Chain A
Amino acid sequence: GAVVSQHPSRVICKSGTSVKIECRSLDFQATTMFWYRQFPKQSLMLMATSNEGSKATYEQGVEKDKFLINHASLTLSTLTVTSAHPEDSSFYICSATQSGNAYTGELFFGEGSRLTVL
């Protein structure tokens, strides 16, 4: 199956700093990637849809200036949490889908990044 790699898996930072999370599709081209956030004992919450070469589409209630998404290539999308605060502490997960003829609707997930803001 398709492999998605996410880095870092864990990050601890001080309040006010920015954190960048990378998401890479290792063996396929991902025209579209999705960024999710998950709080403890809650379900996945879609934050934004990232399309290669264009601006991300953010879900309602997600601050685009706080959560910067860049999808500069077909294999890499990044999420930057700017001026992080303790309430941003969460499990962030990226996912990608194979597009075009390979599209099956399946999402392939990265390992997730656990962010703790002190």
Chain B
Amino acid sequence: QKEVEQNSGPLSVPEGAIASLNCTYSDRGSQSFFWYRQYSGKSPELIMSIYSNGDKEDGRFTAQLNKASQYVSLLIRDSQPSDSATYLCAVNPSASNYQLIWGAGTKLIIKP
């Protein structure tokens, strides 16, 4: 059973601080890794994608991938109240299969 695990939270972070979200996956052969943000009552939207080990930065967001440890994380710098949402980690275990394996999501609350 291929699994993706996240801490459900809620994770409470003061405004302006760094929010750190973590995700582990079970399939060592996984190829692609994604972070989606979902506001309450809305559909998910892609925040970051990462395909190789190391860090990938996009504005205030940094995705980190460590395939040896089967671990992917998302850092949000200078957290804003508008970042309050549920963050979903998704993993594609195979380049030949378009289906993603989803984590349950971490609820992030940014306190003003």
The interface size of chain B toward A, counting residues with CB under 8 Å, comes to 22
A-B CB pair tally, cutoff 8 Å: 53
Q: A12 to B70: give the CA distance in the assembly, Å.
A: 43
Is residue B46 within 8 Å, beta carbon to beta carbon, of the partner chain?
yes
Nearest residue (CB) in B for A31 is B98
Q: Which one of B43, B90, B105 has the highest number of Cβ atoms from chain A below 10 Å of its Cβ? A: B43
Q: Residues of B with Cβ closer than 8 Å to A? A: 31-32, 34, 41-46, 49, 51, 88, 90, 92, 95, 98-100, 102-105
Q: List 20 A-B contacts (CB under 8 A).
A: A34-B98, A43-B104, A44-B88, A44-B102, A91-B41, A97-B98, A103-B98, A104-B32, A105-B92, A105-B95, A105-B98, A106-B34, A106-B46, A106-B49, A107-B46, A107-B90, A108-B46, A109-B43, A111-B42, A111-B43
Show the binding face of A for B, using Cβ within 8 Å: 1, 6, 32, 34, 43-44, 46, 49, 91, 93, 97, 99, 103-112, 114
